[in-house]
Structure 1
């Protein structure tokens, strides 16, 4: 696909003497590109046509066009229009208004959601102007004391909207009326050169929304592109601004970063640019300290977990968010568990205390909903229960709702170098054995050697002596 893109860019830019002399937008007619309606979401096309029919301008924007040109299957089809959110909502009965920071409309078609937004203008310019720009339909923007955009609902033209996009390859628009592609910021050339380039001054754009730094890393990991020098330069210095982003938003960003099938590369990039410590502070501190034990190498374990996750996603399988977070935080849990045991706390209470401490520290950076933190605790707890296979315990553990996740977690531990005495192979065999074979497997292990506590022998119950006075037997 990129080979065809080169000729497309040459055609589009041949009339200009040099890249600096180019004027925008560059409009690519249908005859000069390969994106057709058949490759688009039918529901997205329905939204475009209905907006057009109602007298509004409407375009597909960003990722779906970029991904097609790169040769990646597009998943998200976002629409942008000059209709306000309220006008969009009135036009579609199957829609709902969402968001406060960015007012959007979600148009629902079964499980598919088409996100529709209104052209936005540069609110920073509007704030400095002596009077509102005439082109603006609405004016609702606010910034924090650190300069971060809290609300950005200032509406404008498509040209202004393109300037407000984050990266050049996301300022590509598809017009369904004549099937042309409009390039407003040089995105086609940057795709050809495999460059991630932010639109505008990098410092100003990161100040407005520090999450753009994470997005640059995500695209670098996902697309295999290089971050353009000026775009990359301020990231380390400005990484601390992530401390001022709501933890709930960062939780979603982590899932996109590490749960998209390119986790290993993204993990290295996050650490390289100094961003990882603002997402997983305890984990980063542990990695920097060099702490390890004979039974765990933290970095090796995390990389093995990310490798397994990447393989699953690349094979079209799914992975649960709680599993990803369980992997990232497990080394910290092991360290805290060791510390609490050194204080004389028993194994299980020490584990529960360690899990609580690690989770409490983590939610200050990235919020973890209870529906995810509970399964994480269960996976960690199962690591201490899986070795205990005597009697009926193996059958009980096999029926546990979190068994499969805990077993996969156990395999990651073994693959990363933790010596488990063949525990993973035993459970692999036990899962698929017949009942008779399962009982033989249980007999084949010495339960007491795998569990210091072992099965408790029940003491015979002593019959209590009654303190009540004995009744005298009457003489016959």
Structure 2
């Protein structure tokens, strides 16, 4: 009861956001021309049921920038249960942050209930860690409260499909014109509520070609270590968004600038400033190649990306193990295990990606064994192409492989007879079989009798 009485006072102290109506004459968006048919269906049906509902966030932002939205989200004052009751093709997901997914074939419309301000850490609807991180966020509120709870001003724009106007509570429309990323509210408090917002700030800046507003950028480097408290599975999803959205090469220098790469890849970070510069060049080229493949519509796999991000660490560890007398392939296998064990404490890389990663890095050693039939067996293996591409990246980064990449490039283009000649032309030390230790002779009958 006391919380209900104090709530208006808190809003007054915090400063109730002022709504600005961006009329249809001030922007080019029109509901029937720009908003997804299914998003319109969801919005209209909720409105007909007596609820408020608006397309919101990234879809409005991207349309204003002339981009094609990846998906459409709808915000409403209907609870998740009320939304599901309106749509037979809907399901409630999430515990930390309940949402409703309304499915229309391949298109999914995500519906979120307006979020309100947290009333304390003991509420069953919301919970907050002593560090400020929000653990559970199902405290529902008004449209005005929802706008103030969103992360960035450019993501807090609500589109009114009836009047084709935009509801703006945080000057997000102006920030789009200024091409800047600005956090709503106190930056330090908002980053502490959810440290992943620091990664999102970098991702949006890279994706849109925006700058991060000065006050929003100021605390990032200092608060970057807070990412260590984020669940490893969630960080894996965020890394995929950073590096597999077509703007990886633009994200990477921003991650380095704001100290966000280190908490994600601590072992790799320790090798980036070495005088040779190989690690830095390898990662940069891998990210550029990833962006190019995405632009060309070619498939990309997290396994290859993580192999490139971890290769400097794995190669260094493998050299140490070989110096201790461990054979090359077992040394590479053990080095990969050590690197992956450290990574998974920060980023939960699923086995469907970690297993092919292991095969790729192990093949870096096997590619040096150019003999028959070993070379042809390697060429037919499913991971050969990825391992070969990683080899070429290593060479482009300045790593000395004694022309191994060029040899395999040539080998793939030759016929069977020419391949055999290529192997015969190799120096005798290359591909030479290891001498087997002579077997001990079994003891004689005389020795047995003794």
Whether contact under 8 Å (1:388, 1:450) holds in the other structure is: no
Query: Who is 1:183 aligned against?
Result: 168
Q: Distance in 2 between matches of 1:236 and 1:89?
A: 41
Whether contact under 8 Å (1:448, 1:455) holds in the other structure is: no
The alpha-carbon deviation at position 62 of structure 1 amounts to 0.8
Q: Distance in 1 between matches of 2:83 and 2:221?
A: 40
Q: Distance in 1 between matches of 2:305 and 2:108?
A: 25
1:438–1:245 Cα change, 3 Å: same
Q: Secondary structure, in 3 states, of the residue corresponding to 2:427?
A: helix
The alpha-carbon deviation at position 463 of structure 1 amounts to 11
Query: Who is 1:11 aligned against?
Result: none
Give yes or no for the alignment of 1:445 onto 2:439.
no
Query: Who is 1:168 aligned against?
Result: 153
Query: Who is 1:5 aligned against?
Result: none
1:291–1:112 Cα change, 3 Å: farther
Q: How many equivalent pairs are there?
A: 430
Deviations 1:258-307 (A, max 9, x none): 2222222211111111111100000111224x164xxx811111111111
The alpha-carbon deviation at position 111 of structure 1 amounts to 2.9
Deviations 1:381-428 (A, max 9, x none): 121222333223233222212222222212211222223344334433
The alpha-carbon deviation at position 33 of structure 1 amounts to 2.2
Give yes or no for the alignment of 1:113 onto 2:108.
yes
Whether contact under 8 Å (2:117, 2:139) holds in the other structure is: yes
Q: Distance in 2 between matches of 1:311 and 1:378?
A: 24
Q: Secondary structure, in 3 states, of the residue corresponding to 1:449?
A: coil
Give 1:74-153 correspondences, 5 Å limit: 74-123=69-118, 126-127=119-120, 140-153=125-138
Query: Who is 1:368 aligned against?
Result: 349
Give yes or no for the alignment of 1:420 onto 2:420.
no
Query: Who is 2:184 aligned against?
Result: 199
Give 1:222-241 correspondences, 5 Å limit: 222-241=207-226
1:43–1:317 Cα change, 3 Å: farther
1:167–1:453 Cα change, 3 Å: same
Q: Which residue, out of 310, 316, 329, partners 1:348?
A: 329
The alpha-carbon deviation at position 24 of structure 1 amounts to 3.4
Whether contact under 8 Å (1:387, 1:450) holds in the other structure is: no
The alpha-carbon deviation at position 312 of structure 1 amounts to 1.5
Q: Distance in 2 between matches of 1:69 and 1:409?
A: 39
The alpha-carbon deviation at position 31 of structure 1 amounts to 4.0
The alpha-carbon deviation at position 80 of structure 1 amounts to 1.1
Which sections of structure 2, spanning at least 5 residues, go unmatched? 1-15
Q: Which residue, out of 23, 28, 33, partners 2:22?
A: 28
The alpha-carbon deviation at position 54 of structure 1 amounts to 2.4
Whether contact under 8 Å (2:75, 2:111) holds in the other structure is: yes
Q: Distance in 2 between matches of 1:238 and 1:158?
A: 30
Whether contact under 8 Å (1:388, 1:451) holds in the other structure is: no
Q: Secondary structure, in 3 states, of the residue corresponding to 1:127?
A: coil
Q: Distance in 2 between matches of 1:248 and 1:351?
A: 26
Which sections of structure 1, spanning at least 5 residues, go unmatched? 1-21, 133-137, 469-476
* Structure 1 range deviating more: 301-310 or 415-424: 415-424
Q: Distance in 2 between matches of 1:451 and 1:92?
A: 70
Q: Distance in 1 between matches of 2:169 and 2:109?
A: 23
Deviations 1:75-126 (A, max 9, x none): 1211111111111122222222111110011122333322111110121xx3
The alpha-carbon deviation at position 198 of structure 1 amounts to 0.3
The alpha-carbon deviation at position 213 of structure 1 amounts to 0.9
Give 1:7-406 correspondences, 5 Å limit: 24-36=18-30, 37-123=32-118, 126-127=119-120, 140-288=125-273, 290=274, 292=276, 297-406=278-387
1:202–1:465 Cα change, 3 Å: closer
TM-score with structure 1 length normalisation? 0.84
1:365–1:460 Cα change, 3 Å: closer
Q: Distance in 1 between matches of 2:299 and 2:165?
A: 35
Q: Distance in 2 between matches of 1:106 and 1:450?
A: 63
1:253–1:451 Cα change, 3 Å: farther
1:405–1:111 Cα change, 3 Å: farther
TM-score with structure 2 length normalisation? 0.88
Q: Distance in 1 between matches of 2:379 and 2:327?
A: 25
1:246–1:23 Cα change, 3 Å: closer
1:420–1:185 Cα change, 3 Å: same
Q: Distance in 1 between matches of 2:408 and 2:370?
A: 9
Q: Distance in 2 between matches of 1:447 and 1:165?
A: 65
Deviations 1:163-205 (A, max 9, x none): 0100000001112233322212101111111111100011110
Q: Distance in 2 between matches of 1:467 and 1:67?
A: 88
